[in-house]
Amino acid sequence: MPINLSPAQRATQTRIETMAAFFGLDPDWCAAVAMVESSLGVAQKSPTGCLGVFQLSGIAMKDLRLAMEAHDDDRIDIACGVAFLALLKRRWGSEAAAIRHYCDPKDLGFYPARVARWRTKFTKERVA
């Protein structure tokens, strides 16, 4: 059964799939992380100041935020989010370990399961 996504969410999913292929990652896993983080919304901003599809934060992302605001280009956000997932997977050895390091430690009780549920939905839709 297809997931009920808006055209904008589908476009974001397609961009994520392209970046995931470039980095050699499972596109459904990447899309699931983005769904949990922002519901595949490109203009999302959290109360803590995280921005974009992957809700990236931190001092290292300061210039990225400025680039996204200046160019209003979600491709930068998506490329960096997928690249960060690739880095974590390489560093920690698995997608499960990468997710544990991606999310806030206080969210470990639910975050990995939510990503897994969305990944399953995206995968089922892809093979249908």
Residue 95, domain extent: 7-120
pLDDT value, residue 44? 78
| CATH number of residue 12's parent domain | 1.10.530.10
Report which of residues 1 and 80 the model is more confident about: 80
Question: Of all residues in the chain, what percent carry a pLDDT higher than 70?
Answer: 86
Q: Does a structural domain hold residue 98? A: yes
Q: Are 96 and 113 in contact (CB under 8 A)?
A: no
Please count the structural domains in the chain.
1
**pTM beyond 0.85:** no
Q: Does a structural domain hold residue 1? A: no
Bridge partners (DSSP) of residue 51 are 45, 56
pLDDT value, residue 77? 74
- Going by C-alpha positions, the residue among 92, 102, 109 that lies closest to residue 30 is 102
Q: Does a structural domain hold residue 126? A: no
Distance CA 84, CA 92 (A): 12
What's the burial of 24, exposed, middle or buried (CB within 10 Å: 0-12/13-18/19+)? exposed
